[in-house]
Amino acid sequence: MAPATTVRSVRTATMDDVPEMARVLGRAFCEDPLFRWLFPDPHLRMARSVRLSALEAGFGYVPHGRADVFEADEEGRRIVRGAALWTPPGGNAESTATVLRSLPHLAALVGPGRLPEVMGYLAELKASAPEEPHWYLATLGTDPVARGAGVGSALLRAGLAQADSDGVAVYLETMNPSNIGYYERYDFRVVRSVNDPSFPSTYCMLRPAV
């Protein structure tokens, strides 16, 4: 059962929010096909999922992109229950400098021997991105205890509203086929599938500019 909530809001994240964002996103994606591929040992997966989420938010999207959190007031305590990480058109959340800074940490998480494989997969995703100006939704996650309470949809609508104001498309990838129908309700459509047996199956989705 979702916790009782009296006040809910979406706001821009700061660096102070990174630990809570990492906790929420780590819990949200621990059993996602991508994280199961990255961290096949189930005993290590949760801790490494949290650390990777902290790396993604703290090095990339909070300082250099757009990061939103869904904050709930639960029995007088303000608690982050969801987070969304975005790159605006022309943004640099995944710049070369950010990637180079992240590499030693990523190697420690996945193992140095797997780093070329992981980087190859990330390069495949980057090559699939549309050339037209777009907002990129890198991550959208809800704490499992708050699923079904509208957390993800509130975060998604906030980003889509910004993209609509800018008059540009929105692009994302999902590795979980059960997510496709959810995003289709927001006018996303699958434009490419990555089916290399070395990587997780990935569905690239685009919502045209409105």
pLDDT of residue 94: 77
Percentage of residues in the chain having pLDDT higher than 90: 81
* Residue 193 domain-assigned (yes or no): yes
pLDDT of residue 190: 98
pLDDT of residue 169: 98
* Lowest model confidence (mean pLDDT) among 19-28, 39-48, 89-98, 150-159: 89-98
* Residue 1 domain-assigned (yes or no): no
For residue 44, give its domain range: 7-207
For residues 105 and 96, which has the higher predicted lDDT (pLDDT)?
105
Neighbours of 172 (CB within 10 A): 22
* Residue 99 domain-assigned (yes or no): yes
Number of domains the chain contains: 1
pLDDT of residue 2: 52
- From CA 45, how far away is CA 11, in angstroms rounded? 29
- pLDDT at residue 32 is higher than 50: yes
pLDDT tier for residue 74 given thresholds of 50, 70 and 90: confident
State the number of CA atoms in the 13 A half-sphere of 56 facing the CB.
24
pLDDT of residue 16: 97
From 163, 164, 89, 94, select the one nearest 125 (Cα to Cα).
94
pLDDT of residue 5: 47
- pLDDT at residue 95 is higher than 90: no
State the DSSP string of 132-174.
S-EEEEEEEEE-GGGTTSSHHHHHHHHHHHHHHHHT-EEEEEE
- pLDDT at residue 75 is higher than 90: no
- pLDDT at residue 4 is higher than 70: no
- pLDDT at residue 37 is higher than 90: yes
Percentage of residues in the chain having pLDDT higher than 70: 97
Provide the mean pLDDT of the chain.
Answer: 93
* Residue 196 domain-assigned (yes or no): yes
Q: Which CATH number does the domain housing residue 87 bear?
A: 3.40.630.30
* Residue 18 domain-assigned (yes or no): yes
pLDDT tier for residue 90 given thresholds of 50, 70 and 90: confident
* Residue 2 domain-assigned (yes or no): no
* Residue 33 domain-assigned (yes or no): yes
* Residue 178 domain-assigned (yes or no): yes
From 151, 202, 153, 207, select the one nearest 177 (Cα to Cα).
202
Mean pLDDT within 72-80: 88
